[in-house]
Amino acid sequence: MDDRIQVWVGDITTLKVDAIVNAANRELAGGGGVDGAIHRAAGVQQLQAACRRIGGCATGQAVMTPAFNLGARAIIHTVGPVWQGGDQDEANLLRSCYSEAMTLAVREGFRTIAFPAISCGVYGYPKAQAVAVAVDEVERCLESYLMFKRVVFACFDQSMADLYRACLQNQAT
């Protein structure tokens, strides 16, 4: 396991990292889950206005806004796939969320980033499968991005953290 990866349980909005990743929708319209929490903590009106200026984001892509009232420097919004059974390219689209967010972060000179479990809530992606994709893609990116210092998998609950830890341990053996 790459020792730059951390699994952490808590509210992602409290993390002081360069970039917090948001599990957004294609309209960047805000919503529930982690998206709602990020909007509330960053400042709903300011973040909504910044999202409106961007206009939207395709599934698997990533865009960036300021973080406003958050301790982070920026919010990277990415749109995970809605789970439709697994034969609609969901795994590649989810993989792309992680790589696009990491690439954008590196381009900005960021060194630390926190990801929520993209698509694992409202979008219904099977959690263990999503975690396997997330870990594999982040580890792959870190092999190229040697300047990157820390990637946090921010989990809302312990059971999600257990899935990440099990996956990271399997990869290490």
Q: Between residues 91 and 154, which has the closer beta carbon with respect to ligand AR6?
A: 154
| Residue 106, number of CB atoms within 10 A of its CB | 16
Closer residue to ligand AR6, CB minimum distance, 110 or 123: 123
Distance CA 142, CA 154 (A): 17
Q: Which residues fall within 8 angstroms of residue 35, CB to CB, at 6 or more apart?
A: 22, 23, 24, 25
**Which residues are catalytic, by number?**
35
Q: Are 146 and 4 in contact (CB under 8 A)?
A: no
Q: How far is the CB of 143 from ligand AR6 (least distance, A)?
A: 26
Provide the token pair at 167. 């996956």
Nearest-approach distance from CB 48 to ligand AR6, in angstroms: 12
7, 72, 141, 154: which one binds ligand AR6 (CB under 6 A): 154
CB of 38 to ligand AR6, least distance (A): 7
User: Closest distance between ligand AR6 and the C-beta of residue 138, in Å?
Assistant: 16
Instruction: Name the one range near ligand AR6 by CB under 6 A: 22-30, 48-56, 133-141, 162-170.
Output: 22-30
Q: Does 116 bind ligand AR6 (CB under 6 A)?
A: yes
Residue 121 touches ligand AR6, criterion: CB under 6 A: yes
Question: Contact, 72 vs 20, CB < 8 A?
Answer: yes
Q: What is the largest CA-CA distance in the chain?
A: 47
Query: Which of 1, 5, 37, 106 contacts ligand AR6 by CB under 6 A?
Result: 37
CB 102 within 8 A of CB 61: no
* C-beta neighbour count of 172 within 10 angstroms: 8
Residue (of 132, 41, 123, 129) closest to 82 by Cα position: 123
| 34 interacts with ligand AR6 by CB under 6 A | yes
Q: Would you count residue 133 as binding ligand AR6 (CB under 6 A)?
A: no
Give the residues lining the site for ligand AR6 (CB under 6 A): 11-13, 23-25, 31-35, 37, 80, 116-123, 154, 156, 160
